[in-house]
Structure 1
Amino acid sequence: MLINSVDKPNFLLPRIIDLKDFTYASLLFSHIPEPNDYAFNVMIRGLTTTWQKYQLTIEFYYQMKSLYLMPNNFTYPFVFIACANLLELNHGRAAHSSVFKTGLDKDGHVSHSLITMYARCGELGFARKVFDEISERDLVSWNSMISGYCKMGCAGDAVQFFCEMRTDGFEPDERTLVTVLGACGDLGDLSLGKWVEGFVVENKLEMNTYVGSALIGMYGKCGDLSSARRVFDSMKKKDLITWNAMISGQVPLPQV
């Protein structure tokens, strides 16, 4: 049915991502006589998020431009994510230039992915510049910068940015908490780490494997092994990440 529908890309392409079969999806795309920007955007999204074929994401982006199709705010976030994962700063900067010329730098999704790209490529100054130019910041904006600082080993800047975020009236979500706990562990900042656990308890947030494992890791790095064990024992569900956090933190394991 899908092969017989190649002349109807609006019917076909939303199903390409669901296929999760890269070879078949590529074959289907190649049979579209004149792929439009929508067709390219669906493939670029699939290449980036479903198949993690980041080099092909960039190639499809340039192919799209060579056909005089206009990349838009559904294109650039995935291009920047691909550049971030490949550490392709030159391609990222070129795409940023195109974004600026078309005025898409004001789009939230584009800005967030730009921050991620620059941070992953070690250009925290450019990441901060993009952040500062966002007129209406949201939690994703803050998380992108905090995560960027942590990934580059700038735990102190990450914690400072977290404090600025709260001063600006934003409450952390799960992603923020996990990232900040990692920074606390790197800095040995036990007091802030304990505040995070208190925030989770006070706001009745789920102590899932991500937050719980991050807490265990933080307490382990800070040398508070009893608290790490307490968090471990309180978790209803444990996975490999949880056990690895216990082992890497040299926390005494329960006897089997």
Structure 2
Amino acid sequence: MCVSASMIKVNTYMFRRPFIAKHRPPSSLSTVRPAHTQPFPPHLSLLADKCTSMRQLQQIHAQMLVSATIHDNFAASRLLSFSALSINGDLIYASKLLNSVQQPNMFMWNTLIRGLAISPKPHEAVLLYTKMRRIGVTPGKHTFPFLLKACSSLQSVKSCKQVHSQVVKVGLDLDFHVVNNLIRGYSVSSGLMHARQLFDEMPDRNVNIWTTMVCGYAQSDRAQEALALFNEMVAKGFEPNGPSLSSVLSACAQSGCLDMGEKIHSYIMEKGFETEVILGTALVNMYAKNGALLMARSCFVNMPRKNIITWNVMISGLAVHGHAKEALELFQELEKHDVGPNDSTFVGVLSACCHAGMLDFGRKVFNSMRNVYGIEPKIQHYGCMVDLLGRSGMVLEAEELINRMPWKADLKILGALLSACGSHGNIEVAERVVKKMLLLENDNHGVYVVLSNMYADAGRWDDVSRLREIMKDGSLKKTPGWSLVGDED
């Protein structure tokens, strides 16, 4: 998007409420503007919707200030939408924008609540709602779904109850969309009893409300109640649609409800639903997560169209359940199709390499991410490579890879390296790893136990005694059944 050179740099003055001078009465020589002509440049609001970076948005913001367009709520709302909701946005900037508007409309409040609800700090959405109520702004029916999204992320029954009371207060306790989000909020916050009570009190229900309640039971490992409610829904004439069936299948995948998943699959076949991408992928995922790999593969093969998510769930399912060779073959088959892999694809492939001990292929795949596919490895990919190198005895190379990471290593990655040190007797690296782990968690008793065992295996009894004294002085005790890392294959 081209921006004129006259656009000025944004600064703190941009968030001050603009001073609008009183218009002088037009002189007889003035040209009278027709009534239908807009006094402000209309293109600025449209440009805000086409921004791809905060830099561009700041330039448009500056132009709006210069042209006095910013006091128009529609123009300000376009700026707010990008900064609050775009992946390239800035929630701090969005908050300042909202504060700079003299009388923000409901759309603007809702936009920022929505952006905060899906951010890493969803509690700030609740705080913003509280601020909105304190200054006398009445929420609308679109406010509560965004607010309840924040409550679901927080998994707070208390917050759900407080929002529920607000819903009743403003008379939206029978609104389908609001009630649906309340049921979901209670369900994911271990408040299933409250969710069911709300469900039962609804005089009318739509298929979405039925589906959300079924998913709540399934995700809470209460498969029998989920299946009974699903059957009741169908018996009462509510025919599930593709999206609702996909949601139920996803719940079955998360909770390990294979029996229910199979019955849903039978229902899909009986009713003649087309296994399009979303529904078909949900079936593959459900079977793969539950270890029914033959059925997962059958559903996968019979899908007329697949996207990268479909390929990923099949590759990951095979890798997690020990079918590394098949997972890698599927990845090579993917390269022949017109579907590009993403970062999740490589997590599955590298996990398969770990299970199969295929170090050379794993190195090749890891290096190809950036060099061939233009995908920057994330910490999960580094973790897989550290695990692969450690299992293969390449402890020093694994340590060097950790040191080259653009992020600080976490306990999980360091734990994988320490486990490899224990398996291959590399005390020198283990000592360095233990120091790093203790900086992250100074009362981590497990690292002392691992290192002490390594000293004992090497016959270094003085070091064993020294560690025991450290553990005794710090009152560190090995917790029964505690393990530093997951079980080895």
**TM-score scaled by structure 1?**
0.84
The CA distance in 1 between the partners of 2:112 and 2:182, in whole Å, is 20
Amino acid at match of 2:82: D
Q: State the Cα RMSD in Å.
A: 2.7
Secondary structure in structure 2 of the residue aligned to 1:58: helix
Q: Which amino acid aligns with 1:25?
A: A
**C-alpha separation in 2, matches of 1:123 and 1:192:** 26
Match of residue 115 from structure 1: 183
Task: Kindly indicate whether residue 310 of structure 2 is the aligned counterpart of residue 246 of structure 1.
Answer: no
Residues in 1 aligned to 2:257 and 2:94: alpha-carbon distance in whole angstroms = 46
Among 258, 266, 288, the residue aligned to 1:195: 266
Structure scoring higher RCO (CA < 8 A, sep ≥ 6) equals 1
1:92-111 → structure 2 map (5 Å cutoff): 92-111=160-179
Q: What's the CA shift string for 1:37-88, capped at 9, x where partnerless?
A: 3431222123225x46411110110000110111221211211111111022
Change (3 A) 1:135 1:10: farther
Q: Which residue of 2 aligns with 1:10?
A: 74
- Deviation, structure 1 residue 199: 4.6
Alpha-carbon distance between aligned partners in 1 of 2:223 and 2:294, rounded to the nearest angstrom = 24
Could you tell me how far apart the structure 2 residues matched to 1:250 and 1:234 are?
A: 23
- Residue 96 of structure 1: SS of its match in structure 2? helix
Match runs of 1:220-239 below 5 Å: 220=288, 224-235=292-303, 236-237=305-306, 238-239=310-311
User: For 2:151 and 2:71, how far apart are their aligned partners in 1?
Assistant: 32
Structure 1: which 5+ runs fail to align?
none
CA shift in 2, pair 1:211/1:57, >3 Å: same
For 2:204 and 2:190, locate their aligned partners in 1 and report how far apart those are by CA, in whole Å. Answer: 25
- Give per-residue Cα distances to partners, 1:14-34, cap 9 Å, x unaligned: 442234212332232221123
Shift of 1:141: 0.6
Structure 2 residue corresponding to 1:26, chosen from 63, 88, 95: 95
8 Å Cα contact 2:285-2:296 kept in structure 1 = yes
The residue type equivalent to 2:187 in the other structure is A
Over alpha carbons, which structure has the higher Rg?
A: 2
1:212 corresponds, among 260, 275, 280, to 280
Is the Cα contact below 8 Å between 2:284 and 2:297 reproduced in 1?
yes
CA distance in 1, matches of 2:242, 2:231: 16
Please state if 1:147 is matched with 2:215: yes
Deviates more, 1:242-251 or 1:51-60: 242-251
- CA deviations on 1:149-185 (whole Å, 9 max, x unpaired) are 1222222222221111111212223333234335388
Q: Distance in 2 between matches of 1:6 and 1:199?
A: 57
* 8 A Cα contact 2:288 2:314, kept in partner: no
- The 1:246/1:37 distance shift into structure 2, 3 A limit, reads same
CA gap of 1:253–1:215, structure 2 versus 1, over 3 A, is: farther
Residues 110-158 of structure 1 show CA distances to partners (whole Å, capped at 9, x for unaligned) of 1011101111111111111111222321121112112211222222222
From 48, 71, 81, give the equivalent of 2:149.
81
Contact 2:245 2:279 in 1 (8 A): yes
Q: Determine if contact 2:293/2:318 at 8 Å carries over to the other structure.
A: no
| C-alpha distance in 1 between matches for 2:317 and 2:235 | 31
2:197 counterpart of 1:124: no
- The residue aligned with 2:438 is none
**In 2, distance between residues paired with 1:107 and 1:194?**
31
Q: Distance in 1 between matches of 2:237 and 2:128?
A: 40
How far apart in 1 are the matches of 2:155 and 2:143?
18
- Asked if structure 2 preserves the Cα contact closer than 8 Å seen for 1:17 and 1:42, the reply is yes
What is the DSSP-based 3-state SS (H/G/I as helix, E as strand, rest coil) of the residue aligned with 1:11?
Answer: helix
Q: When the two structures are superposed, what TM-score results if normalisation uses the length of structure 2?
A: 0.47
1:56–1:6 Cα change, 3 Å: farther
Asked whether the equivalents of residues 106 and 134 of structure 1 are also in contact (C-alpha less than 8 Å), the reply is yes
- CA distance in 2 between counterparts of 1:47 and 1:7 reads 24
Segment drifting more, 155-164 vs 13-22: 13-22
Which is further off, 142-151 or 8-17? 8-17
Structure 1 residues 118 and 69, CA gap change in structure 2 (3 angstroms): same
Question: Is there any run of 5+ residues in structure 2 with no aligned partner, and where?
Answer: 1-59, 333-489
Separation of aligned partners in 1, 2:208 and 2:126: 24
Structure 1 residues 12 and 130: alpha-carbon distance in aligned structure 2, compared to 1, 3 A threshold: same
Amino acid at match of 1:41: N
